[in-house]
């Protein structure tokens, strides 16, 4: 049974519209605020007081007040009565495009284009760099595609890091075992000592996420994520360029340093990684074809769970509805939200409608 039902009104100002998904810590819902429109609401699965909820979110709230484009904004934190008793919740920006995991899976059998994969990773590093530069540094501890949200704003494709600080409030041993999508993004040193999370550990998770976007597989697991342990890192990782011809030597070097098994050989924080990503420029090989090794079905975009099926007909119907909504100025954001959802159904629509969605996010109607 889910914690909230559609139509439930919370504190007289939030109306639950629909369930969006869940992770190890919380369920996520789209809600409508009576003044501010659509927001996302995360409801914790375990009981907690208002004070505990606010404490779990202190870093997220601190960072969101800085207004960084690549850090999700947190607006409210409180407790409420759910179907399973009193639970803490918080509200944040609603990103209609969903998570980076959904964005990655929407590409089906194709790799995410290298330029896009690097750009999204660069944006993640821009958000993380702000946290890592604090004194003392704020360590995320749970970077993974599910905790990176991807949508559009006036500048174009936007990646936002979410869930800052939540992992710190959870028993590290529980975190390691709670979800495949968390354990497989932990740096090697944490398999020896779960208390060794660091900025360099965040870098590992970012580098692994980039590797996954570029190759559709994990570098060290050998295909069995459930069997991942410290011995898994004794074998050399498969170079990304063997799986995707678009990965050039410079990008390969960035991946190798991001995923160095010894922490001291890794980028020590997100800013160091960001500087190299900013220097990287896409190359243009003679052949643009993308090449993959023959992989088992486990080494595909189903690695982190089965993706939603692509459906061109449904996506184009959603796009047509979005265009219809865009003829009303007050519906432009709603039209953009719907178009982002359509993109995940059929990613080829991005090339057709990316310009329109950026204009809609600026409040500009197209006639």
Catalytically active residues are 142
DSSP character for 157? E
CA separation (Å) from 364 to 334, 338, 359? 13, 16, 5
Backbone dihedral region for residue 196 (phi beyond 0: left; psi -120 to 50: alpha; all else: beta): alpha
Q: Check the CA dihedral 257-262-264-270 and report its sign.
A: positive
Which 3 state secondary structure label does DSSP give 68?
coil
Instruction: Give CA angle at 220 (215, 225), nearest 5°.
Output: 90
DSSP character for 94? -
CA separation (Å) from 271 to 124, 125, 192, 361? 11, 7, 26, 29
Return the structure tokens found at 129.
Answer: 């760099």
C-alpha span between 148 and 119 (Å, rounded):
13
Look-up of token digits 């429109």: 37
Q: Of 285, 240, 283, 232, nearest to 258 (Cα)?
A: 240
Q: Of 104, 227, 209, nearest to 219 (Cα)?
A: 209
Contacts of residue 34, Cβ cutoff 8 Å, sequence gap at least 6: 13, 15
Radius of gyration of the chain (CA): 20
Return the structure tokens found at 94.
Answer: 């609603």
Q: Check the CA dihedral 152-154-159-161 and report its sign.
A: negative
Return the structure tokens found at 86.
Answer: 């009193």
CA separation (Å) from 312 to 4, 308, 342, 344, 346? 31, 12, 9, 10, 5
Assess contact for 149 and 99: CB atoms under 8 A.
yes
């Amino acid at each position: 049974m889910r914690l909230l039902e559609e139509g439930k009104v919370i504190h007289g100002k939030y109306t639950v519209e629909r369930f969006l998904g869940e992770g190890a810590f919380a369920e996520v819902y789209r809600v409508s605020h009576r003044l501010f429109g659509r927001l996302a609401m995360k409801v914790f699965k375990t009981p907690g007081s208002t004070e505990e909820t606010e404490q779990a979110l202190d870093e997220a709230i601190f960072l969101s007040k800085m207004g960084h484009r690549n850090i999700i904004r947190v607006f409210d934190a409180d407790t409420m009565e759910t179907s399973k008793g009193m639970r803490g919740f918080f509200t944040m920006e609603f990103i209609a495009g969903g998570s980076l995991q959904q964005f990655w899976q929407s590409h089906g059998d194709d790799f995410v284009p290298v330029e896009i994969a690097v750009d999204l990773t660069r944006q993640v590093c821009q958000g993380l760099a702000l946290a890592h530069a604090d004194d003392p540094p704020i360590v995320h501890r749970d970077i993974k595609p599910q905790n990176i949200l991807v949508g559009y704003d006036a500048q174009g494709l936007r990646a936002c890091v979410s869930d800052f600080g939540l992992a710190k409030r959870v028993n590290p041993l529980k975190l390691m075992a709670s979800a495949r999508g968390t354990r497989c993004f932990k740096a090697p040193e944490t398999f020896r000592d779960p208390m060794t999370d660091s900025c360099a550990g965040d870098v590992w998770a970012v580098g692994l996420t980039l590797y996954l976007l570029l190759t559709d597989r994990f570098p060290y697991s050998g295909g069995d994520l459930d069997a991942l342990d410290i011995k898994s890192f004794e074998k050399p990782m498969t170079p990304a360029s063997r799986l995707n011809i678009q990965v050039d030597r410079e990008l390969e070097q960035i991946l190798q340093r991001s995923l160095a098994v010894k922490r001291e050989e890794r980028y020590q924080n997100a800013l160091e990684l960001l500087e190299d990503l900013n220097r990287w420029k896409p190359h243009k090989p003679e052949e643009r074809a993308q090449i993959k090794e023959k992989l088992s079905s486990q080494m595909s975009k189903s690695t982190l769970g089965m993706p939603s099926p692509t459906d061109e007909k449904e996506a184009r119907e959603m796009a047509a509805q979005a265009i219809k909504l865009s003829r009303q100025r007050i519906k432009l954001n709603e039209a953009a939200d719907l178009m982002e959802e359509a993109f995940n159904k059929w990613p080829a629509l991005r090339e057709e409608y990316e310009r329109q969605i950026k204009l809609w996010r600026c409040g500009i109607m197209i006639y």
